[in-house]
Amino acid sequence: MTTYRIAEAAELLGVSDDTVRRWVEAGRLPAVVVDGRTGVPGPDLAAFAESLALEPDRERTRAASVSARNRLAGIVTRVKRDAVMAQVEMVCGPYRMTSLMSADAADELGLEPGVRAIASVKSTNVVVERP
Measured from the Cβ of residue 36, the count of other Cβ atoms closer than 10 Å reads 5
Q: What ranges do the domains of the chain cover?
A: 3-53, 63-129
User: What's the CATH architecture for 3-53?
Assistant: Orthogonal Bundle (1.10)
Max CA distance (Å), the chain: 44
CA distance 35 to 31: 13
**pLDDT tens by residue, 86-118:** 999 999 988 899 999 999 999 999 999 999 999
Burial of 34 (0-12, 13-18, 19+ CB in 10 A): exposed
pLDDT band with cut points at 50, 70 and 90 for residue 129: confident
**pLDDT tens by residue, 35-93:** 899 999 999 999 999 888 777 555 444 443 444 467 888 999 999 999 999 999 999 98
Q: How many helices (H) and strands (E) does the chain have?
A: 4, 8
CA distance 6 to 9: 5
DSSP three-state, residue 19: helix
Options 3.40.50.300, 1.10.3720.10, 3.40.50.11540, 2.40.50.100; CATH for 63-129 is: 2.40.50.100
**pLDDT tens by residue, 16-29:** 899 999 999 999 99
Do 93 and 62 form a contact (C-beta atoms < 8 A)? yes
Do 24 and 40 form a contact (C-beta atoms < 8 A)? yes
